[in-house]
Structure 1
Amino acid sequence: MNLKFFLVLQFYRGGKMKYSTVIFDFDYTLADATYGIVSSFNHAFSRLGIPEHDCESIKRTVGLPLDEAFVQLTGHKDEVLINCFKTLFREKADEIMLKNTRLFEDTASTLQRLKYNGIYTGIVTTKYHYRIDETLNLHGISHLVDVIVGGEDVKVPKPSPEGLLLAIGSLNSKMNDVLYIGDSLVDAKTALAANVDFAAVTTGTTNEKEFLQYPCIKVLNNLSELKELIKI
């Protein structure tokens, strides 16, 4: 199907979009944890004697599993080194990530609007499940999210559809009633693999032109635009 057609494709039921379930990625979709992520990467690099990397290079890896991000940034594929990196990253992240994670200004209001309209919500991310729980609890919005699937909850990370399908199954949602929203091509590939609709947000490092390589019903500038897309 033509990708431009996907971009404008909208199905209505009684004047509303068809979705009963909206599932989100986390980093750069619902929140900005740049300082914590970059600091944790460079802490681990420094401890391993690897040169630190600039912020933008690290940001481009957000959404990838840590081992893939490490290989992409350093070129090192040694399993022992990768595991040491992951341990050092997690130790630093446990110390600083929560207090340095900022929800986007329209995150809470978007989730509230979805819940008010009876739409199920979820988060599917490569980030640790417990870290998502901590962040939602800190900001008092855990009751607005029905299901969370984190990196440790799956055998194969995104863009495998495993996590997204797990979330959909736990909500007993029909596949054609689900919209997945994310900020990266990993998210677009995940939705495609799961055979669910995808909407992109450009609050990360991926631009509209890049998203149009994949089926995408809409490219949003921010989450506030979701209310117009699904008519809530």
Structure 2
Amino acid sequence: MKSYQAYLFDFDYTLANSSKGIVMCYRNVLERHGFHQVDDLSIKRTIGKTLVDSFSIMTGITDADTLETFRKEYVKEADQHMTANTVLFPETEEVLRALKANGARIGIISTKYRYRIMELMGKIFPEEFIDIIVGGEDVKEAKPSPEGLLQAASRLNCPKEQILYLGDSTVDAETAQNAGVDFAGILHGMTTREELAAYPHTAIFPDLLPLIKK
């Protein structure tokens, strides 16, 4: 694989395993409203989608006001439980530090809120280590809209052909395709190699280590 000027990452199931916290927060909201039959796997399969879309998928509800109520309740739950129940994958810190040491720019493009990402990453990396974080509150349209990726490319002043976007889901693959940047799939999550391979990609990796291991 060629080297890139900028490596932009999805967050959940790409850099970090936040599934424990996500399942906890969704389940607390779902149970509160009488949705007792949604299993953990169904919750995990929605990771990477917006909160509103995820609740709609899991409950069948389409009423915008109800879904917005669920979203607000989830955010309150996440404020309490998310960071404590999120861990970086074992290789994440090593890979990001190695890429940075080699002169690459590092960024995160996620549907997760930026402040939540910063809360965890700030405990591990020095301030300004991550060159850019574009969270759910920073865009008008969520992935697979290319808005977040294009915003990062512009702010980093980096040509699209020098950007690699890495993610675990078909939403991430479609986002890269829509933005016109290269994509590499990461098999940390619930999406299979075959599902990712249906989209344009430069590679599909079991984890992040191939980025720095020759």
Equivalent of 1:203, from 175, 188, 194?
188
Q: Which residue of 1 aligns with 2:166?
A: 181
Equivalent of 2:91, from 98, 103, 106?
106
2:27 corresponds to 1:27: no
Q: Which residue of 1 aligns with 2:179?
A: 194
Equivalent of 2:30, from 45, 52, 55?
45
Q: TM-score, normalised by structure 1?
A: 0.89
Q: Which residue of 2 aligns with 1:126?
A: 111
Do the aligned residues in 2 keep the contact of 1:133 with 1:142 (CA within 8 Å)?
Answer: no
Q: Determine helix, strand or coil for the equivalent of 1:122.
A: strand
Q: CA deviation at 1:44?
A: 0.7
What runs of 5+ residues in structure 1 fail to find an aligned partner? Answer: 1-9, 11-16
Q: CA deviation at 1:140?
A: 3.1
2:78 corresponds to 1:60: no
Q: CA deviation at 1:115?
A: 0.6
Whole-angstrom CA distance in 2 between matches of 1:99 and 1:139: 13
1:135-181 superposed Cα distances (whole Å, 9 cap, x missing partner): 10122355431000000000000000000111111100001000000
Whole-angstrom CA distance in 2 between matches of 1:142 and 1:30: 18
Q: Which residue of 2 aligns with 1:88?
A: 73
Whole-angstrom CA distance in 2 between matches of 1:223 and 1:18: 14
Number of residue pairs matched?
A: 214
What runs of 5+ residues in structure 2 fail to find an aligned partner? Answer: none
Do the aligned residues in 2 keep the contact of 1:136 with 1:142 (CA within 8 Å)?
Answer: no
Q: Determine helix, strand or coil for the equivalent of 1:114.
A: helix
2:125 corresponds to 1:140: yes
Q: CA deviation at 1:52?
A: 4.7
Distance 1:142-1:222 versus aligned 2 partners, 3 A rule: farther
Q: Which residue of 2 aligns with 1:162?
A: 147
Do the aligned residues in 2 keep the contact of 1:29 with 1:182 (CA within 8 Å)?
Answer: yes
Q: Which residue of 2 aligns with 1:6?
A: none
Q: Which residue of 2 aligns with 1:227?
A: 212
- What is the one-letter code of the residue matched to 2:171? V
Whole-angstrom CA distance in 1 between matches of 2:191 and 2:84: 25
Equivalent of 2:82, from 81, 97, 106?
97
Q: Determine helix, strand or coil for the equivalent of 1:23.
A: strand
Higher deviation after alignment, 42-51 or 86-95: 42-51
Whole-angstrom CA distance in 1 between matches of 2:108 and 2:150: 12
Identity, in percent, stands at 43
1:66-108 superposed Cα distances (whole Å, 9 cap, x missing partner): 1111111111101121011001111111001011110011111
Q: CA deviation at 1:226?
A: 1.4
